[in-house]
Amino acid sequence: MRIHVLSSLPLAILTAGALAPGFSQTQATDRNTSGAPLSSEEAAFDVLHYDLELEVDPSARSIAGRLTMRARLVHPTQRIALALDSALTVTAVTDAGTGAALPFEREGGRITITLAGGGRAPEPPAEFAIAIDYGGTPRVAPNPPWNGGFTWAETADGSPWIATSCQAEGADLWWPCKDHPSDEAESMDLHVTVPAPLVVASNGRLVSVDEAEGKRTYHWHVSTPINNYGVALNIAPYETIEADYESTCGDTFKVTYWVLPENLEQGQKLFPQFLEHMRFFEELFGPYPFRADKYGVAETPHLGMEHQSIIAYGNGYRENKWGYDWLHHHELSHEWWANLVTAENWKDFWLHEGFGTYTQALYVERLHGSAAYREVMAGHRRGLRNEHPVAPREDRTTTEMYFSTDGRVDNDVYYKGACVLHTLRWLIGRKAFFESMRRMAYPDPALEQTTDGSACRFVTTDDFKEIAERISKRDLGWFFDVYLHQPRLPELVQEREGDELRLTWKVPDGLAFPMPIELRIGADSQRVELADGTAVVTLPEGVEAEIDPLGWVLRAR
């Protein structure tokens, strides 16, 4: 369970102007979703710990295991509910303490369980623990990682190469859980059994590997809160590339890449970028959050995903036009913007993807300078659809945030989210902007030194607004209302009469919008304030003004 601090599949872009790979060219092939409103049976408890014991049979493409959940009641209830894909069968539900069988019902992807208590509803803050035995043939991912499930592939020599992905549909595709972003376990254990000599790369820290009767069981322990879709299995005859990395905070932790044997040489060439990207993010946003576990990357048979402490990488060792591996950079950004701070509801998903996309532009700026940065941002601007709010006021599920009514992906959580940050940076100034970003990651500088998970928290768009307002000492409600809570862009209307140029913001629904604008007049530039949405500038006769010459302000064109 994460803390709430009130002071405060999707992948990014190959090149400027490109659409999110995999989503953009195809209709959604599955409408399963994650984050639907919680029922009373789901809202009655907070998850404390998951322990997943799972055997994976590559030859049968099946799984079998037990999920043990420890939780705390927040409302009196006799019945609780968890989610599990209907493709999988539940064989037993028991009280994990006594072993006594518990009555349960299955209806589609829902398991409703009657807790022990002799017919009397347990009272908060009582804790309970249940175990669910289940198995079967899990859903095969039709278009991973965007449409998720298990991916059963093979390496060059025909060995099994297996991965899970489930961001859009939820982790209940392959293990029983409370399928909502607002509740995360404080810690988790995974005990995964596979045929030897396969390797299991998963979340957290490797505790042990036991081998018997031709099988290996890997025990991974996650010591911090983790979102359900961030839990992942990666199974293959992996080789490892490792380094000890010294964090900006002085701690040293292990960075490991689980690479296919046939790609070992390419992996060794790419690996230094992992460390360079890590340094970039630490310098901007604070220390890597999961130093107590590790930073891991696993080569996968799908493009990639931000699985906590075990990033999925499947970009084929390609660099983009700016000379770096964008996929790894984007997914690593999510260790801060998704895993350290997590949207409490999918309506605030831009805090993951908009922030992650913008960091790539910042990295291009670091590598190649401001002109290259502006080129990237201009490409993002061209991809906007402006059909739905980037951060709606109403709760949303994953599919409601990802897909338009025509079934195609709405990439504005990526592109427009990044463009909003770009404009905010100009409005409040570089220093205040980057301090706001860092305090969004770590509200208190003291939290940058922690490794126990206490820095992990849920966040909302309003949290970011409040942080930026406090640091910049500005009222920014109008900025967030126009750019994030409704879809249409403001238009700057220009009227020239003689030597006067009148500038007026035309804003949807008449919303207040005192956005300044930069004018270039000859060799000089000036920032023009439009405090009430309008301003008049005097120009020399015959001289034209270039408006917003560097493209800082997001507006209708």
Average model confidence (pLDDT) across the chain? 93
Banded model confidence at residue 340, pLDDT cuts 50, 70, 90: very high
* Mean per-residue pLDDT, 280-287: 99
pLDDT in tens, 156-177: 999 999 999 999 999 999 999 9
Is the pLDDT reported for residue 534 higher than 70?
yes
Is the pLDDT reported for residue 89 higher than 80?
yes
pLDDT given at position 43? 97
Helices assigned H by DSSP within 192-296: 264-285
Is the pLDDT reported for residue 20 higher than 70?
no
DSSP state of 458: E
* Mean per-residue pLDDT, 143-156: 96
Is the pLDDT reported for residue 461 higher than 90?
yes
**Is the Cα torsion angle 274, 275, 281, 282 positive or negative in sign?**
positive
Is the pLDDT reported for residue 9 higher than 60?
no
Distance CA 29, CA 31 (A): 7
DSSP 45-109: EEEEEEEEEEEEETTTTEEEEEEEEEEEESS--SEEEEE--TTEEEEEEEETTT--B--EEEETT
pLDDT given at position 119? 65
pLDDT given at position 408? 76
* Mean per-residue pLDDT, 144-166: 97
* Mean per-residue pLDDT, 395-405: 85
Banded model confidence at residue 11, pLDDT cuts 50, 70, 90: very low
pLDDT given at position 283? 99
pLDDT given at position 403? 77
**Is the Cα torsion angle 310, 313, 317, 323 positive or negative in sign?**
negative
- Look up the CATH superfamily of 342-483: Neutral Protease Domain 2 (1.10.390.10)
pLDDT given at position 10? 34
Distance CA 167, CA 331 (A): 13
Q: For the stretch 298-321, what's the b/e string if a residue is b when 16 or more beta carbons lie within 10 angstroms of its beta carbon?
A: bbbbbbbbbbbbbbbbbbeeeebe
Distance CA 348, CA 461 (A): 6
Please tell me the pTM assigned to this model.
Answer: 0.93
DSSP state of 177: B
Is the pLDDT reported for residue 21 higher than 50?
no
Distance CA 69, CA 178 (A): 10
Q: For the stretch 353-365, what's the b/e string if a residue is b when 16 or more beta carbons lie within 10 angstroms of its beta carbon?
A: bbbbbbbbbbbbb
For 435, residues 6+ apart whose C-beta sits below 8 A from its C-beta are: 471
58: preceding bond cis by omega (within 30 degrees): no
Banded model confidence at residue 112, pLDDT cuts 50, 70, 90: very high
Distance CA 506, CA 94 (A): 62
pLDDT given at position 476? 99
